[in-house]
Chain A
Amino acid sequence: MKPPSEIEAPEIENPVAGIDQSAGDFKYDVKYDFDAGTGLTENTIRYISSVKKEEPWLLDFRLKAYKTFLEKPLPTHWATKDLENINFDKIRYYLSQGQKPKRTWDEVPADIKKTFERLGIPEQERKFLAGVEAQFDSEAAYSNIKEAVAKQGVIFVNSTEGLREHPEIFRKWFGKVIPTGDNKFSALNSAVFSGGSFIYVPPGVKVSHPLQAYFRINAENFGQFERTLIIADEGAEVVYMEGCTAPKFSTSTLHSAVVELVALKGAKIQYITVQNWAPNVYNLVTKRGLAHEEAEIKWIDCNIGSRLTMKYPGVVLKGRKARGEVISIALANDGQHQDTGAKMIHAADETTSTVVSKSISVGQGRATYRGQVHIPRHLKGCKNNTECDALLINTNSRTDTYPAITVRGDKNATQHEASVSKVSEDMIFYMQQRGLSEAQAMSLAVNGFINDLARQFPMEYSVELKRLIDLEMEGSVG
């Protein structure tokens, strides 16, 4: 045992300034050929639509959405007032070097290619992915799907291409799961969307490896509005993963995506997100899936970055025996607010849903769980189970839980449980006594807290997540 004089002074609490933001915190100067300028008017929308050579119905759709966006108030009567700090007039709504993604990395312009190489995307693609789309600001710079998968009839393109070349498949579901007027930010996305993935998996096709999209914001004051629509036809199965980074700017950046999933009878969709935006990004995303009879939709949602994230992945359980699941991990560090959760709308008999949420608040970070479970009248055999656990690391960390559960009728069952705790002193003491430093012990305890969820991630992501948490926890105890 050290004499008292040698005991190190406690470290300052929370010196961690954002996670392994170092991995994404770099920026190359890029010359944009297409730039819609700063601020949002009807002309911005016409510009985006014309460079994309869109059909008139789509321009109408965008303009209508723009009106809805203007009419809708910010949801500050329940959400954080931080939303008021978004200056919609200072944002750049469209930036790209071209609308057609390249099919090989060699064709990708050098400055953009450098970015993705540094993020390790081409390497991951070779190793374990069935297809990759890499979006740089507004448009996909690279998009490729492995030949074997394409041969099965799987379509994996960006939103512009999807609506132009496969309207018979995509138009039917486009904007149907999340209507334009769902909320202010879904309306904004509908007005100015660009990029994102459109995926169709034909009946009975099980895509063996995950498809991946990587979203990169490179420009300051930029707003990224990708739009993703995934349709799994009867009995099909697909796993989709998305990652995202941005360099750290002094001004704020907006990311507002709309993601719609449609799982037809017996289909399975798994959607995995590892969100690692820089701590100046407002991440306001609407995600919802529609599960038909016996279909299964699973969201695995991991939020580590951003300044403010508001994201509540949902499943509308439309067909008998449909199943929905949300697994959510959130880590809120100093200056961050992770307002995440889940929405389960039961609309058919014998539908089941599960929500497991674990959040960790470090320093002055704030983690919020917001959930909705809705079981309307005259259904039977519906079940929901929700568990939310929050871990508070420092004395000034904050966590909130706001669930809303509605049940009608006596043939359904819901259960909600939440707990808040800190890492037990006994546990830390035990590990220290075995020779671990306090920080190592804390890291181990935190990893243990989310371990059962992290295990559900694909191997590569699970390892990455653990590493991110180690980094994030570094020096957070004193």
Chain B
Amino acid sequence: MATSSVQSPAVGSFTEAAFHAHLARVAHLPAWWLDRKKAAFARFAALPMPARTNEGWRFSNIGSLTLDGFAVPDGPAPRPATHAEVGIDGLGHLIFANNRLSTRGELAADAASQGVIFSTLQEALVRHEALVREHLLTQPSKLGSEKFAALHEAFLEDGAFVYIPKNVTLRLPVGVFHYACGPNTAVFPHTLVVAGENAKATVVDFFRSDFPAAAGASAPPLDASPQFACGGNDLHAGHGAQLTYVATQEWSRATLSFQFNATVARRDARVVSVNLHAGARQARHESYSQLQAPGAHSEMLALTIAHGAQEFDQRTLQIHQAPNTSSNLLYKNALLDQAKTVFSGLIVVDPDAQKTDAYQSNRNLMLSDDAEAHSLPGLEIQANDVRCTHGATSARIPAEQEFYLQSRGIAKAQADELLVFGFFEEVLGKIDNENLHDILSGLIRRKFKE
């Protein structure tokens, strides 16, 4: 095969020197973790940037994937000036800023006494090394971002570790805040959740940018301050575990963001993940779900509000590896202005995974004549006794519905907002926790006011 133009591997700001400076910063670095980070950096440095012919990047804008001009922050974690409570009483939380722990709010006493661990990865590497080693970044990157996943592993400094022991139910959600403070900052957030047999928990990630206003000056406009975020999460649900994971992504509008998810569901486990995408200039989200044992279920939900010239690129893979597993994917995008979305999903049913029930759906709501939606819903089925369906639609708000609301005296802008909420409610309705539901709808409302 003729390769006319070989893409040269680029490291941008993430040079060998930056890597060594990062290693020097990490307080606790067991030998195995150091080896893996070194290997990851070598992979990152050797792999080429995505090329146009790469199917995993079809329709994505690869010209704007620059790694230049960013800096891995040094020094202690700042206190995010813009941090505000989210409105959940008694929420155990960790606040990370620029890759380090800034402040924390401990779990309720009963949870801690039941053996729940809610700590930083750095602490966990000291006290629960075996658990971390078994689950941290153990699933391969399969959706096209091998280079950036390696970058994440190489530069990962700290993140959250949540462990729920067998038969324990965590009553309240736990929240993890990841802040990128200041312009040109590069962050590598990570959340690792391990739910033991029949454990039950809800974990929420908040991704936010923070620009402290200099004395006398107002904060710089969000669009003018680029940042780089390259994060990941590992969700491991043991037999019969029920895990809910919610993430809200509100990076600054000039951020380049990568987010990698790996979910493993064991026998009769149930994992629900909800991703709300609102921020960044260009955001790529890769989600890889493995249903490894009978009865496992994965619910993959996402809401995206794409504004301005934002690009959201979502790639998913649902692998059914055992019989009697089910998965349900629903990704809803609302597109305004000149925004662009790409959804590329794949359901894989292995030859032995009979009685699989898999669903995949991508709905694009077109709210502007300049918006652009790409949908690539894929199936690869190798077992015959399955129920697999997928659907993709792209359309505007139905004129009759708009007309109906207007005929009741509701202005067009408001009517549209209502209809968009109706569009998203199908996903929001799947969140049991009322507080969380309110947080997400509040965020959507704010985004529409922008």
Contacts and interface: CB of A to CB of B under 8 A. Distances in A.
Interface string A380-411: 00000000001011111111111111111111
A398 B375 CA distance: 23
B364 A402 contact: no
A82 interface: no
Contact of A404 (B364, B369, B374, B393): B374
B377 A407 contact: no
6 contacts: A401-B390, A405-B373, A411-B369, A414-B375, A414-B394, A421-B386
B392 A405 contact: yes
Contact of B55 (A77, A397, A405): A77
Interface stretch (A68-76, A217-225, A282-290, A311-319): A68-76
A390 B390 CA distance: 12
B394 A76 contact: no
Nearest to A376: B372
B164 to A, nearest CB: 36
A416 interface: yes
A377 B383 CA distance: 40
Given A78-B55, A420-B379, A410 B368 contact: yes
Given A77-B54, A410-B371, A422 B384 contact: yes
Given A404-B376, A406-B59, A409-B371, A416 B381 contact: no
Given A404-B374, A409-B371, A416-B377, A395 B1 contact: no
B395 A414 contact: yes
A403 B386 contact: no
A452 interface: no
B380 interface: yes
A126 to B, nearest CB: 44
B378 interface: yes
Contacts of A394: 384
Most buried by B among A74, A393, A399, A411: A399
Contacts, number: 137
Interface in B380-422: 380-396
Contacts of B379: 390, 399-401, 418, 420
A164 interface: no
Contacts of A392: 381, 383-384, 386
A402 B378 contact: yes
A348 B379 CA distance: 31
B220 interface: no
A79 B379 CA distance: 15
Nearest to B359: A419
Query: How would you classify the secondary structure of chain A's contact residues: helix, strand, loop or mixed?
Result: strand
B168 interface: no
A396 to B, nearest CB: 6
Contacts of A420: 379, 381, 386-389
B375 A417 contact: no
Contact of B395 (A390, A397, A408, A413): A413
A78 B344 CA distance: 14
B51 to A, nearest CB: 9
Most buried by A among B377, B379, B385, B391: B379
Interface residues of B, number: 42
A377 B375 CA distance: 16
Contacts of B368: 409-410
A433 interface: no
Contacts of A390: 379, 381
Interface residues of A, number: 40
B92 to A, nearest CB: 43
A408 B55 contact: no
A395 B385 contact: yes
Contacts of A421: 386-387
A408 B372 contact: yes
Contact of A403 (B371, B375, B389, B395): B375
Interface in B341-386: 351, 354, 364, 366-386
A410 B382 contact: no
B314 to A, nearest CB: 14
Interface of B: 1-3, 53-55, 58-59, 351, 354, 364, 366-396
Nearest to A386: B392
Given A401-B379, A402-B378, A407 B364 contact: yes
Contacts of A409: 366, 368-371
Contact of B367 (A77, A410, A422): A410
A278 to B, nearest CB: 26
B394 A403 contact: no
A412 interface: yes
Given A395-B384, A400-B380, A400-B381, A418 B391 contact: yes
Interface string A68-98: 0001011011100000000000000000000
Nearest to B378: A402
Nearest to B375: A405
Contacts of B59: 404, 406
Nearest to B382: A398
Contact of B396 (A377, A401, A404, A410): A410
Interface in A414-454: 414-422
Given A377-B372, A419-B388, 4 more contacts: A394-B384, A400-B380, A406-B374, A409-B366
A399 B55 CA distance: 19
A176 interface: no
A378 interface: yes
A354 to B, nearest CB: 15
Contacts of B53: 77
B372 A407 contact: yes
A76 B54 CA distance: 11
A395 B375 CA distance: 29
Most buried by B among A377, A400, A405: A405
Contacts of A71: 2
Given A407-B366, A410-B366, A416 B393 contact: yes
Nearest to B388: A420
Contacts of A414: 375, 392-395
Contacts of B366: 407, 409-410, 412
Nearest to A407: B394
A406 B366 CA distance: 12
A397 B1 contact: no
Nearest to A383: B395
A15 B28 CA distance: 63
Nearest to A73: B1
A361 to B, nearest CB: 8
A94 B396 CA distance: 53
Nearest to A384: B394
A420 B367 CA distance: 32
Contact of B2 (A73, A398, A402): A73
Nearest to A400: B380
Nearest to A423: B384
Given A73-B2, A417-B391, A411 B381 contact: no
Contacts of B3: 73
Contacts of A401: 377-379, 390
A395 B352 CA distance: 9
Nearest to B376: A404
Contacts of B375: 403-407, 414, 416
